[in-house]
Structure 1
Amino acid sequence: MLKIGCHLSCAKGFLAMGKEAVKIGANTFQFFTRNPRGGKAKDLDQQDIAAYLALAEEHGFFPALAHAPYTLNACAAEERIREFARQTMQDDLRRLEYLPGSMYNFHPGSHVKQGPEKGIELIAAQLNELLQPTQSTTVLLETMAGKGSEVGRNFEELRAILDRVELSDKMGVCLDTCHVSDSGYDLVHRLDEVLDTFDQVIGLSRLRAVHLNDSMNPVGSHKDRHQKLGEGTIGLDALRCIINHPSLRSLPFYLETPNDLEGYAREIALMKSLYRDQQNCSE
């Protein structure tokens, strides 16, 4: 079974997101923990969470993926921005314990002229401060496109963060297909080679989720502009190979394409139809 969902708005609560997921044929979904530009999260509604968990069990949902706000920057040059990141992540992880077994994805951040080494040091320090041995949530570093001073522009930078995290069993990686392509990894012609490199540098056991997106820009562009599936430079053939690859096909896939719910429903149906295709993509 293909584990696939999309990004849904949490404004109406978890039960509403669960019902939307069912409506569009998804069996998981991603949501922002709060406004993607930052701010205070909504108060938890215990009844809403309980109703969602019952719905998720009824429909066989796979764990949801929570996404931190884009403004979370654990390696910012300014202390006040790093403190916002610390408080936000701490609050998010506390709240996610009400959704046992969830995953929490965040962009590593931008070092802002401090250099990637300093950025890596600051990110790992925050994770070491906040991760708890008893938490059920797995925290994911997202692969980045490499624009500006982003940390996570290649697999080596993510590995450097992971190497510094003490509770490494609480950590994983989310591979974004648009970001990875834009950062210079050729998913269209060298998918096996890219995954072999990921395995050698990070380890495929660390890969816990995939953001399934096409890209508006060519490989190595460092632009980070998502496109609808099959309408970008990655293309439908490569995306079919990605969801069917032996190293990836059991992972959950989350769409972040520029779509409304109807568009997501079409893409989910399309990916489900392609998931049955077991053709050898390396040929």
Structure 2
Amino acid sequence: MELLNDMALFVEVAHARSFRRAADASGVPSSTLSRRISGLEKAIGLRLLHRTTRKVELTEAGQLYFERCRRIVEEARIAHEQLGEMLAQPSGVLRASLPVDFATIYMAPLVAEFARRYPGISFEFDLTPRRVDLVTEPFDVAIRMGELADSNLIARLLARLPVQVYASPRYLELSGEPMHPSDLARHECLGLPKANKWTLQREGEVVEVEVGGRFQVNSVGMFRRLATLDLGVILLPQEIASEDVAAGRLRPVLPQWHGTPTSVYALTETRLLPAKTQRFIEFLHEHLGQRPRGAE
């Protein structure tokens, strides 16, 4: 424990680049900080700091030690915080990166319920399709859909959302209703760029069909809207289509057939999470995939 305390004091000094500022931040006198860090250097056998009358600079060894110690000290702090917050409501700012269309269409009501449940938490959401860097960017968690590329991040599977084919009643009236997945090759199929093959399955039977159409859009919300405007057939998670289905703007096509379920993941840099982040992930895991009222 004494070593961890000395590491924490070193991190404070290295961050502030000043014994005086570190003393103000930590409440530990400068003389004590200097003595404890000198003892740490002696125990390690390497100099960690260059000390001058004006400032403190890290040695090469000190920079390496600071980068390693900062993570250890932060995780120890979070561990203590988690124990304390077992007895209290979590609080603080939750910074999350969310997929644009899924967040707008489906997650917003869940976020509203979570916010009501935890009034001490405030939120900063970044809705973006790009792959954010959880190491260098200030996000507590990223929610992502689809299968993930290999990385050093911690991924927790939140849900596998069932996928269905949909079209508007008017489109089906004008173009006819597909009776088998192979019929989709003759229809206008709306979707993401390069998604020119749809795989559908029914009770162990799997059919892969080449699809095409006039619109390829890099936004789920956009091609969902185009489908409600009678422009084609879409393949979409049921949870995202449910509002339009309930309103009669879309209806299921080939109801016995389903696409490959869409996975939803929570990504974090570490397994040691503040209570606010842990509660958010647990809440989404509990609620994602529960079909909204009015959906089929």
Q: What TM-score results when the alignment is normalised by the length of structure 2?
A: 0.21
User: Which fold has the larger relative contact order, with Cα–Cα distance below 8 Å and residues 6 or more apart in sequence?
Assistant: 2
Larger C-alpha radius of gyration, 1 or 2? 2
Q: Counting strand residues as a fraction of each chain, which structure ranks higher?
A: 2
